[in-house]
Amino acid sequence: MTDTPQNDASGEARDIAEVPAVELINTVAVHLLSAAAVKVGLADDPQEQTDLDEARKLITALAGLVTAAATEIGDHHARPLRDGLRSVQLAFREASSIPDAPGKGPGEKYTGPVN
């Protein structure tokens, strides 16, 4: 039997069904965190890769995910995600030429003010 797109998709669905929720949440959070770090200028080529508008969106999404999932994934998994989130929030604040008011920075409606 040849692989058709439908067969490939059903195989992927079965694979993802076996992955624990905590692993999926962590994977998505790490991708958001990595992308946010690049967009705030913490990558190899900050002159070309920095985009604070995109970073704000990514950080806010990450903050919402981490805040909502923290009780589900437990402190053991949530703590490093919170630390990473705080790091990109602070990097955003440093990279921004126009500072946000306390509590108004990216993701701060979920995390509270970051100093």
pLDDT of residue 64: 98
pLDDT of residue 15: 86
Read off the tokens for 60.
Answer: 């806010």
Q: What is the pLDDT of residues 8-17, one digit of tens each?
A: 666 666 688 8
Please state the rounded mean pLDDT for residues 23-47. Answer: 96
Query: How large is the angle between the packed helices 21-39 and 75-95, nearest 10 degrees?
Result: 10
Would you say residue 6 has pLDDT above 70? no
**Nearest CA to 26 among 70, 90, 57, 87?**
70
Q: What is the pLDDT of residues 41-94, one digit of tens each?
A: 999 999 999 999 999 999 999 999 999 999 999 999 999 999 999 999 999 999
- pTM value > 0.75: yes
